[in-house]
């Protein structure tokens, strides 16, 4: 059975800018209405073999039009899964190979989707785009549940992990939590886009929609443009796209222009009176006085301040390990709004963050703050970005009564805590790696209420005789903790105060992935 309406379709698969081999495979058949994106896993030889096998076996089963579309789809994907597993078990260099896949079958104006993994299918109508599939991954679940924004999910360090694939274990067509089946009508004014995560991890959905609409009616040009965009955004992975358009899919109509109110007739100029002349002279005097004293408003950590003189714009301080300016000296001289950019190398300064000052390592994680003890005390609107903080030391990063945005930082080797947050001012710790600390990974105590999101907190708290969790919430602390991977800790993954709602932690974070015993993830303690 063929599609009842004509379909325009195109596909393109590209290696990307950071991979040597392309492990993705696609299939585009608008006549039979079959479209596939398969993303191979397990190394270049094994990955591409897994993706090739997935496409081949799925096409073989779907070509036999016996049974309902959803039944044929389930059988096709199960057969592909079991064939990949059989091949992997037959050769040592294919061990562990697998593939994720998204398949769309269009028949009688209805799309049947079979989906396993983190490739995607988007449905587009003029002016709108909607993700129809669910990402079978820890980060994808948090995004689909609204606990992570699309931007945060794209940047998450564990974005590429999946818990469903073809080839890891034997499956039947009707196994629970294996194949996701979706069905929806497909009208001539719609389009659908299948893609690997090489596109969806680089380009937000709204930008995808705008690009497709720009080239509506020309899917070949649209997929070429999307691949170019993904590569310009970094090209971290293979990029594979299949775009299918109905015959009437078009760009969204422009919003109607607001009606202009009729212009009022111009009033006749009034004759200047003596009071009006005095007002003009007074205004000129004020302008002269303003120019002489040059007052301006400066935003500071203590609010808005009135100052006088020449307005000083934000400055950028460049620091290197062997340069004349140390990190400590730059922090002492910098003013609110300034940025300090540290180049690659090892820094042994005792770093004290300053209000309104950003401390940034470029390129990210090429500079090491050796010896730990980076601190902020009663600091507001500060930033720490991209550094490695290494021990041995008691604490890597200590935030006391401070509002600091910590992004993409790595902390290792700390005896008490990788990061310690105390006091009552909010901070943000995100997209960072806190790993290999003999003490806890992160400790939050007092009345602190930081946001701790999208971090990797692994391998902490393993000091013999003094085992600790990866995350310790003590006292009356009320942190917001979402989207973190917390695993391989010395004892439970999290210790929580009796005053904290510990039940929320397992639902909004990825705790001990792969662990068979789930009872010891979170422990309520009084210490």
Measuring CA to CA, which residue among 482, 487, 484, 431 is closest to residue 460? 487
Higher pLDDT: 470 or 45? It is 470
Give the C-alpha separation, 30 to 252, whole Å.
24
pLDDT at 270 over 70: no
Please give the structure tokens belonging to residue 462: 């393993």
Q: Which region, left, alpha or beta, applies to residue 405 given φ > 0 means left and ψ of -120 to 50 means alpha?
A: beta
**Model confidence band, residue 10 (pLDDT cutoffs 50, 70, 90):** very high
**Model confidence band, residue 292 (pLDDT cutoffs 50, 70, 90):** low
**3-class secondary-structure state, position 79:** helix
pLDDT score recorded for residue 505: 84
Q: Using alpha carbons only, how large is the chain's radius of gyration in Å? A: 29
Average pLDDT over residues 389-396: 95
Give the C-alpha separation, 285 to 265, whole Å.
33
Measuring CA to CA, which residue among 244, 160, 234 is closest to residue 203? 234
Asked if residue 295 lies in contact with residue 306, where contact means CB atoms within 8 angstroms, the answer is yes
Higher pLDDT: 268 or 173? It is 173
pLDDT at 470 over 50: yes
Give the C-alpha separation, 482 to 479, whole Å.
10
222-225: long-range contacts at Cβ-Cβ below 8 A with a sequence spacing of 24 or more?
A: 222/10, 223/10, 223/11, 223/12, 224/12
Backbone phi, psi, residue 409, to 5°: -105, 145
pLDDT score recorded for residue 207: 95
Kindly tell me the sign of the dihedral angle through the C-alpha atoms of 209, 213, 217, 218. negative
In the numeric block, the tokens 């109607």 are attached to: 256
203-227 pLDDT per residue, tens: 999 999 999 999 999 999 999 999 9
pLDDT score recorded for residue 307: 54
First to last CA, the chain: 67
Give the C-alpha separation, 103 to 60, whole Å.
13
Measuring CA to CA, which residue among 166, 157, 196, 201 is closest to residue 364? 157
One-letter-per-residue 3-state SS of 32-55: CCEEEEEEEECCHHHHHHHHHHHH
Exposure of 343 by Cβ count < 10 A (0-12 exposed, 13-18 middle, 19+ buried)? middle
- Fold match between 7-246 and 316-524? no
pLDDT score recorded for residue 269: 45
Asked if residue 370 lies in contact with residue 391, where contact means CB atoms within 8 angstroms, the answer is no
**Model confidence band, residue 385 (pLDDT cutoffs 50, 70, 90):** very high
Q: What percent of the chain has pLDDT over 90?
A: 59
478-504 pLDDT per residue, tens: 898 988 889 999 999 999 988 888 877
Give the C-alpha separation, 446 to 413, whole Å.
24
314-352 pLDDT per residue, tens: 788 999 999 888 999 999 999 988 999 999 999 998 899
CATH superfamily of 316-524: Single-stranded right-handed beta-helix, Pectin lyase-like (2.160.20.10)
| Fold assignment, 7-246 | Phosphatase 2c; domain 1 (3.60.40)
Asked if residue 371 lies in contact with residue 351, where contact means CB atoms within 8 angstroms, the answer is no
Asked if residue 79 lies in contact with residue 12, where contact means CB atoms within 8 angstroms, the answer is no
Measuring CA to CA, which residue among 440, 421, 454, 449 is closest to residue 494? 440
Give the C-alpha separation, 102 to 118, whole Å.
9
pLDDT score recorded for residue 14: 93
**Among the listed ranges 170-179, 259-268, 314-323, which one has the minimum average pLDDT value?**
259-268
pLDDT score recorded for residue 300: 39
Q: Compute the residue count for the chain.
A: 527
**Any idea where the domains of the chain sit in the sequence?**
7-246, 316-524
Asked if residue 420 lies in contact with residue 394, where contact means CB atoms within 8 angstroms, the answer is no
Give the C-alpha separation, 342 to 99, whole Å.
41
| DSSP string for residues in 259-274 | PPPPPPPPPPPPPP-H
Asked if residue 453 lies in contact with residue 483, where contact means CB atoms within 8 angstroms, the answer is yes
Give the chain's mean pLDDT: 86
Other Cβ atoms closer than 10 A to 366: 14
Asked if residue 452 lies in contact with residue 477, where contact means CB atoms within 8 angstroms, the answer is no
pLDDT score recorded for residue 373: 85
CA dist 522 → 290, 316, 436, 459, 492 (Å): 62, 44, 20, 16, 6
pLDDT score recorded for residue 281: 74
């Amino acid at each position: 059975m063929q599609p009842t309406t004509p379909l325009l379709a195109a596909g393109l698969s590209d290696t990307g800018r950071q991979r040597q081999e392309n492990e993705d495979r696609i299939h585009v058949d608008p006549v039979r209405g079959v479209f596939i994106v398969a993303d191979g896993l397990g190394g270049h030889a094994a990955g591409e073999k897994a993706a090739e096998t997935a496409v081949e076996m799925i096409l073989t089963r779907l070509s036999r039009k016996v049974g309902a579309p959803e039944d044929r789809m389930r059988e096709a994907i199960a057969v592909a899964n079991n064939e990949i597993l059989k091949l992997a078990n037959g050769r040592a260099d294919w061990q562990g190979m697998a593939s994720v896949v998204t398949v769309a079958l269009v028949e009688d104006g209805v799309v049947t989707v079979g989906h396993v993994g983190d490739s995607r299918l988007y449905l587009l109508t003029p002016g709108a785009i909607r993700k129809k599939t669910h990402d079978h991954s820890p980060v994808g679940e948090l995004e689909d549940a609204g606990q992570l924004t699309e931007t945060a999910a794209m940047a998450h360090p564990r974005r590429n992990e999946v818990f469903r694939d073809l080839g890891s274990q034997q499956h039947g067509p009707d196994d629970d939590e294996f194949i996701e089946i979706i069905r929806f009508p497909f009208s001539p004014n719609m389009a659908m886009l299948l893609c690997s995560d090489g596109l969806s991890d680089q380009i937000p959905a709204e930008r995808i929609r705008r690009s497709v609409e720009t080239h509506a009616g020309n899917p070949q040009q649209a997929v070429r443009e999307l691949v170019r965009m993904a590569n310009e955004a970094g090209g971290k992975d293979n990029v594979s796209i299949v775009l299918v358009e109905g015959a009437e899919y078009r760009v969204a109509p422009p919003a109607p222009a607001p009606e202009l109110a009729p212009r009022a007739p111009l009033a006749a100029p009034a004759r200047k009176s003596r009071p009006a002349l005095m007002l003009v002279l007074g205004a000129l005097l004020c302008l002269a006085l303003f120019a002489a004293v040059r007052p301006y408003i400066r935003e500071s950590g203590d609010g808005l301040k009135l100052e006088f003189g020449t307005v000083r714009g934000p400055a950028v301080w460049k620091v290197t390990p062997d340069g004349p300016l140390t990190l400590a000296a730059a922090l002492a001289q910098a003013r609110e709004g300034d940025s300090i950019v540290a180049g690659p190398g090892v820094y042994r300064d005792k770093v004290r963050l300053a209000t309104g000052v950003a401390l940034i390592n470029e390129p990210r994680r090429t500079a090491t703050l050796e010896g730990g003890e980076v601190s902020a005390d009663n600091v507001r609107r500060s930033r720490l970005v991209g550094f490695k903080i290494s021990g041995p030391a008691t604490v890597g990063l200590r935030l006391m009564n401070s509002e600091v945005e910590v992004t993409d930082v790595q902390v290792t080797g700390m005896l008490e805590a990788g990061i310690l947050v105390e006091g009552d001012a909010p901070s943000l710790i995100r997209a960072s790696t806190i790993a290999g600390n003999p003490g806890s990974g992160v400790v939050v105590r007092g009345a602190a209420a930081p946001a701790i999101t999208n971090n990797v907190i692994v391998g902490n708290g393993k000091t013999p005789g003094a085992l600790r969790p990866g995350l310790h919430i003590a006292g009356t602390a009320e942190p917001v903790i979402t989207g973190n991977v917390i695993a391989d800790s010395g004892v439970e993954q999290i210790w929580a105060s009796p005053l904290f709602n510990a039940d929320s932690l397992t639902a909004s974070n990825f705790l001990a992935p792969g662990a068979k015993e789930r009872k010891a993830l979170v422990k309520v303690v009084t210490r």
